[in-house]
Amino acid sequence: LILSEDLIRRRAEHNNGEIFSLEEVALHQQDIERIEHIDKWCRDLKILYLQNNLIPKIENVGRLKKLEYLNLALNNIEVIENLEGCESLQKLDLTVNFVGKLSSVESLKQNFHLRELYLVGNPCTEFHGYRQYVVACLPQLQWLDGKEIGRGECIQALQELDAVRRCVLEQEADYIEKRKEQKRSGLKETTEKLLSENQNGTHQNPESSSKAHTDAEDKEKEFWEKPCPFTPESRLEAHRHLEDKRRAKEKEREKPKNKTLRALITADGRVLNINEPKLDFNLTEDENNCMLLDLHVYRYRHTHSAGSCPRHKMIKLCKTCPLKPILLYLCFLEAIGEIKPKKPTARPTSVTSNQNTRTETRPAPGRELLEVDAGLVGSLANIVPKGNESSHKSLQLSQHPQRCGVEERSVSKDFVDDPEVPPLM
């Protein structure tokens, strides 16, 4: 994976997705294998996080004049280079990389503002005279690997620089030869591994699936338990191994699963009852050979047609005894909105005094008392005049019409009372 504009834009949410004025961006743990275009897209960068990737080389950051902090920890970098143009660089973190060419640290002499450098976990830190050499080559440093550099230490390192440089260059040459041998052996092992995998794939017997699964488990165990040198190649191989396993699992999930067919009838012709959604039901029969199916569907589910059931699952009921042709009535009741039981609310109690005793009137369990103004009882009783309850011709208010806000209206001359029209409920 290389750096893309889309990746940087997604990481620039704090800057409203704008990358031209971006000053800080975190691109860690993105499996990036190469740094590209960032010096063209983000010229104003001051802080750049690229730790825990697969970057083998420092490149395309030399034009970032305002860059102050560069974090390249946990990558595959072997040489310190191409940072001369970072004029404002103050802190460089190369923790746990593969820098074995310690003389490449001299390329940082032009970074006059560099104050902190981290090389912990690199092969060069095991060289004899490593710290003295770095302190002498970079007198502008104030901290090396988290330890402060004193003035006396700097003076002593400058005095012994020639002898320390010869010692460091000798160790560096030995390390370079060792790395060449590691690359040759790694290439040989990779070639042999590819040949063996091709041969196993050609002669594989499809009937021995269990054996193949066991072999795969043994290979997986051998891969992680086999000792190997800690090199950029081994780290890259482990990453690709994990990536291949992840992709294989994704392909396995994406494979269409064979759905089992519903067994509605057995081999001997017996019809089966089916209740896939596990719903409660009650099937009753009356004297007129009519059957009533009471089916308890899920809450907030909608049944669109007779015979349908929640979540597209099947319900099939079979009668074992022979019956005459009958009708099966399915009645679906749809509740609009949410039906909730009324919660009992605390009502003020009425207290009456009788011979210095107090009695409280409380509602019966599950019921509530309705309090009505005594002056309104008469008007409520005379809203509809007696003898005109079923005519629906007029609505009259005999008392206090101004309280209810309803005006008396006259009946239209064209109104005809149809006796077949049911009364209003």
Helices (H) and strands (E) in the chain, counts: 9, 14
- When pLDDT is averaged across residues 233-248 and rounded to a whole number, the result is 86
Element of type H or E holding 357:
strand 357-361
Is 32 part of a structural domain of the chain? yes
**Residue 15 burial (C-beta neighbours within 10 Å; 0-12, 13-18, 19+):** middle
Is 305 part of a structural domain of the chain? yes
Q: Determine contact, residues 23/46, Cβ cutoff 8 Å.
A: yes
- Residue among 69, 12, 72, 79 at smallest CA distance from 42: 12
Is 68 part of a structural domain of the chain? yes
* pLDDT, tens only, 89-109: 999 999 999 999 999 999 999
Which single residue is written with the structure tokens 């208010």? 397
Instruction: Give the separation between CA 134 and CA 105, rounded to whole angstroms.
Output: 7
- Residue among 124, 33, 49 at smallest CA distance from 91: 49
Q: What is the DSSP string of 191-235?
A: HHHHHHHHHHHHS--TT-HHHHHHHHHHHHHHHHHS-----HHHH
Do 157 and 285 lie in one domain? The reply is: no
* pLDDT, tens only, 311-362: 567 777 776 555 555 455 555 555 555 545 555 555 554 444 444 444 444 5
Domain-ending residue, one of 119, 145, 171: 171
Q: Does position 373 have pLDDT exceeding 60, yes or no?
A: no
| 3-class DSSP state of 317 | coil
Which single residue is written with the structure tokens 């005459």? 324
Distance from the Cα of residue 374 to its chain's centroid: 63
Instruction: Give the separation between CA 119 and CA 73, rounded to whole angstroms.
Output: 9
Domain-ending residue, one of 153, 171, 189: 171
Is 138 part of a structural domain of the chain? yes
Instruction: Give the separation between CA 379 and CA 391, rounded to whole angstroms.
Output: 20
Q: Determine contact, residues 67/35, Cβ cutoff 8 Å.
A: no
- Residue among 385, 384, 380 at smallest CA distance from 400: 380
Which single residue is written with the structure tokens 């660089």? 89
Do 152 and 24 lie in one domain? The reply is: yes
Backbone angles phi, psi at 410, to 5 degrees: -85, 150
Q: Determine contact, residues 89/111, Cβ cutoff 8 Å.
A: yes
Do 15 and 147 lie in one domain? The reply is: yes
Do 9 and 158 lie in one domain? The reply is: yes
* pLDDT, tens only, 250-289: 888 887 766 666 677 777 877 777 777 777 877 777 777 7
- Residue among 31, 26, 59, 72 at smallest CA distance from 45: 26
Check residue 356 and give its pLDDT: 45
Amino acid at 217: E
- When pLDDT is averaged across residues 174-182 and rounded to a whole number, the result is 91
Percent over 90 (pLDDT), the chain: 33
Is 177 part of a structural domain of the chain? no
CATH code where residue 158 lies: 3.80.10.10
| Alpha helix (H) residue ranges in 255-373 | none
Beta bridge partners of 291: 285, 328
Instruction: Give the separation between CA 342 and CA 368, rounded to whole angstroms.
Output: 10
Do 138 and 279 lie in one domain? The reply is: no
Q: Determine contact, residues 235/76, Cβ cutoff 8 Å.
A: yes
Q: Determine contact, residues 19/48, Cβ cutoff 8 Å.
A: no
By mean pLDDT, which of 124-133, 206-215, 369-378 is the weakest?
369-378
Residues in Cβ contact with 350 at an 8 Å cutoff, skipping those fewer than 6 apart: 360, 361
* pLDDT, tens only, 34-81: 998 898 899 999 999 999 999 999 999 999 999 999 999 999 999 999
Give the domain extent around 286: 274-329
Do 20 and 161 lie in one domain? The reply is: yes
Is 126 part of a structural domain of the chain? yes
Backbone angles phi, psi at 110, to 5 degrees: -80, -10
Element of type H or E holding 71:
strand 69-71
Do the bridges between strand 281-285 and strand 143-144 make them parallel or antiparallel, or are there none, so unpaired?
A: unpaired
Instruction: Give the separation between CA 423 and CA 405, rounded to whole angstroms.
Output: 24
| 3-class DSSP state of 187 | helix
For the chain, what is the domain count?
2
Do 153 and 13 lie in one domain? The reply is: yes
- When pLDDT is averaged across residues 222-247 and rounded to a whole number, the result is 83
Tokens of 97: 């990389």
Check residue 367 and give its pLDDT: 46
Do 279 and 166 lie in one domain? The reply is: no
- Residue among 24, 7, 26, 6 at smallest CA distance from 15: 24
Tokens of 65: 């004049």
Full-model pTM: 0.57
- When pLDDT is averaged across residues 219-229 and rounded to a whole number, the result is 76
**Residue 410 burial (C-beta neighbours within 10 Å; 0-12, 13-18, 19+):** exposed
Opening angle at CA 271, ends 269 and 272, nearest 5: 135
Check residue 314 and give its pLDDT: 73
Is 81 part of a structural domain of the chain? yes
Is 136 part of a structural domain of the chain? yes
Domain-ending residue, one of 171, 206, 228: 171
